[in-house]
């Protein structure tokens, strides 16, 4: 079917229903460029009835195509073809992400390549992963096999729709499932483009649907009785509501939620290297990252020296249009998100903090029309302040001192979240002690945001349940069955 198109973006104004572009029955979503504030078109949306249709078609497709029973190397071939299809359409796909959420062209292209790499990785895992043979404890032969859960309902956020989408679609497909994915309202076009690349890779019809829409679409997906697994990345509050709904049917749930990650600098660290990475760890992607190092703890003896280095590094983050090669960071993903960030900065000042750098919108060069905000460092606050407790999801860093290792661990762990953390020290024994003591799913030592699709990723506490990426990320979409064969 030839999709209807948006005349301004030349992108589908429909939905991807069971592998085919069809007209959405819901009210279209406006597409606004956060770099300019201009309306650039619209995107079709699904109705709850179309959600049910997509799920039922997905379940039927698993039977009709036998996708879940395909030999692993055959499924791997399709995943490899999806990898190639994404790369073949990289400029268009990356351009849509840049248009919808304001990431720079360079970052969008890097994320498109990373999304393709996710499919390549899970193609390899799919083809080579072996089943388990537990040791027998009697006259029998034992094997544990892993089988697909059926239809997966996946919901992804707006900050990195390409990589987040790939990290759900690829392992779910590799595990033999069908998947129905809801993108964030503001990044639906790029998610549809990712879905088109998947279909171009040779997926059986019905195995994949991409359903843009509002909250009613996500609610219908999670509540559908034929959904066998729910995978969500986004805010903690929404994740808790999804978990409550899924719990009624005891549906397996994967939740990758919020973070308020501590970035720690000890007095013996390489301060110049640490300053560069602390800055990129919070201001990269305009701070719109679940692992952003938004709580900075610096040992008191080097606080002043490190602050000066960090301010100098922050000045290197040129704020500008995503299309400008000189821009290091673009606008926030929406004007609503900028208003949220500004409200948090105001709250920090109200609670006694002060602005070390930033704390305002940039001026001139056409930036007044976009959702831009300067990289901001706040001082004069402690770990009990609102900006140190709640996830801001923007380019705002709160800088706080600590005295001893024990003091640091107590403060770093005093949070509802536990997604990621970073440590800077020249003492390897101390690095190991602190890494083991921190309550976080990922710990970086003398680095930050070094991510690998091959390593499990997830959080402690209110940062989520389960793990994505790696072999565990594929197994999360399967259920184990033990078979005993008497001898």
CATH number of the domain where residue 209 is located? 3.40.605.10
Task: List CB contacts of 290: < 8 A, sequence separation 6 or more.
Answer: 159, 233, 256, 257, 258, 259, 419, 420, 463
Q: Domain total for the chain? A: 2
Same-domain pairing of 267 and 233: no
Please report, in angstroms and rounded to a whole number, the separation of the first and last CA atoms in the chain: 55
Catalytic residue flag (residue 256) = yes
Residue 229 among the catalytic residues: no
Establish if 389 belongs to a structural domain.
yes
pLDDT 10s digits, 135-171: 889 999 999 999 999 999 999 999 999 999 999 999 9
Residue 5 lies in a domain: no
Report residue 13's pLDDT band, with 50, 70 and 90 as the boundaries: low
Is 431 a member of any domain? yes
Together in a domain, 249 and 385: no
pLDDT digits (tens, 9 = 90+) for 223-252: 999 999 999 999 999 999 999 999 999 999
Q: Which of 22, 185, 196, 256 is catalytic?
A: 256
Which pTM value belongs to this model?
0.95
Average pLDDT over residues 262-291: 98
Q: What is the CATH number of the domain that holds 346?
A: 3.40.309.10
Q: Among this protein's residues, is 168 annotated catalytic?
A: yes
Q: Are residues 166 and 23 in the same domain?
A: yes
Q: Is residue 3 part of a domain?
A: no
**Exposure letters 175-195 (e unless 16+ CB within 10 A, then b):** bbbbbbbbbbbbbbbbbbbbb
Clarify whether residues 269 and 241 are in a common domain.
no
| Same domain (yes/no): 149, 93 | yes
DSSP labels, 180-203: EEE--GGGHHHHHHHHHHHHHTTP
Would you say residue 400 lies in a domain?
yes
Catalytic residue among 59, 103, 168, 449: 168
* Dihedral (CA of 398, 415, 466, 258) sign: negative
Catalytic residue from among 290, 313, 391, 469: 290
Residue 210 lies in a domain: yes
For residue 365, the model assigns a pLDDT of 76
Q: Does residue 404 sit in the same domain as residue 473?
A: no
The catalytic residue among 43, 391, 468, 469 is: 468
Asked if residue 347 and residue 469 are part of one domain, the reply reads: no
Residues 236 and 304 in one domain: no
215 plus 277 within the same structural domain: no
My answer on whether 410 and 478 are in the same domain is no
Stretch 27-47: mean pLDDT, rounded? 94
pLDDT tens for 333-375 read 999 999 999 999 999 999 999 999 999 999 987 899 999 999 9
Q: Which domain holds residue 245?
A: 15-257+464-486
Q: Looking at the structure, do residues 388 and 473 belong to the same domain, yes or no?
A: no
In a domain, 84, yes or no: yes
- Residues 365, 434 share a domain: yes
Assess if residue 305 is contained within a domain: yes
- 43 classed as catalytic: no
């Amino acid at each position: 079917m030839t999709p209807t198109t948006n005349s301004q973006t030349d992108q589908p104004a429909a939905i991807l229903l069971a592998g085919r572009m069809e007209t959405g029955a819901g009210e279209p979503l406006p597409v606004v460029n956060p770099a300019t504030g201009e309306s650039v078109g619209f995107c079709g949306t699904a109705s709850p009835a179309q959600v049910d249709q997509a799920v039922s078609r997905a379940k039927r497709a698993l039977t009709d195509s036998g996708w879940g029973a395909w030999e692993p190397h055959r499924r791997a071939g399709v995943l490899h073809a999806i990898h190639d299809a994404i790369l073949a359409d990289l400029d268009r796909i990356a351009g849509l992400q840049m248009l919808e959420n304001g990431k720079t062209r360079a970052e969008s292209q890097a994320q498109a390549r990373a999304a393709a790499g996710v499919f390549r990785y899970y193609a390899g895992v799919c083809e080579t992963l072996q089943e388990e043979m537990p040791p027998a404890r009697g006259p029998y032969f034992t094997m544990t096999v892993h089988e697909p859960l059926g239809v997966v309902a996946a919901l992804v956020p707006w900050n990195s729709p390409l990589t987040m989408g790939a990290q759900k679609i690829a392992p779910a497909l590799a595990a033999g499932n069908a998947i129905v994915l809801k993108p964030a309202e503001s990044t639906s076009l790029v998610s549809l483009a990712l879905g088109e690349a998947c279909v171009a890779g040779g997926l059986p019809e019905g195995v994949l649907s991409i359903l843009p829409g509002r909250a009613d679409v996500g609610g219908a997906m999670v509540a559908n009785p034929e959904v066998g697994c729910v995978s969500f990345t986004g805010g903690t509050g929404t994740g808790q509501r999804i978990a409550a709904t899924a719990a009624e049917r005891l549906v397996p749930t994967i939740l990758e939620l919020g973070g308020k990650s501590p970035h720690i600098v000890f007095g013996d660290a390489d301060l110049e290297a640490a300053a560069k990475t602390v800055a990129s760890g919070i201001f990269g992607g305009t701070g719109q990252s679940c692992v952003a190092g938004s709580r900075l703890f610096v040992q008191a003896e080097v606080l002043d020296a490190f602050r000066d280095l960090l301010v100098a590094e922050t000045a290197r983050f040129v704020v500008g249009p995503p299309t400008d090669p000189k821009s290091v960071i673009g606008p926030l993903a929406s004007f609503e998100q900028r208003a949220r960030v500004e409200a948090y900065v105001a709250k920090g000042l109200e609670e006694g903090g002060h602005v070390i750098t930033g704390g305002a919108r940039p001026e001139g060069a056409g930036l007044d029309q976009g959702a831009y905000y300067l990289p901001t460092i706040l001082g004069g606050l402690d770990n009990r302040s609102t900006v140190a407790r709640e996830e801001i999801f923007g380019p705002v860093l709160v800088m706080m001192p600590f005295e001893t290792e024990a003091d640091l661990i107590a403060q770093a762990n005093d949070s509802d979240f536990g997604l990621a953390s970073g440590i800077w020290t020249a003492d390897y024994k101390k690095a190991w002690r602190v890494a083991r003591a921190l309550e976080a799913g990922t710990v970086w030592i003398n680095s930050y945001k070094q991510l690998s699709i091959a390593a499990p990723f997830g959080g402690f506490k209110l940062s989520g349940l389960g793990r994505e990426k790696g072999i565990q990320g594929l197994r999360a979409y399967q259920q184990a069955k033990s078979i005993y064969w008497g001898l």
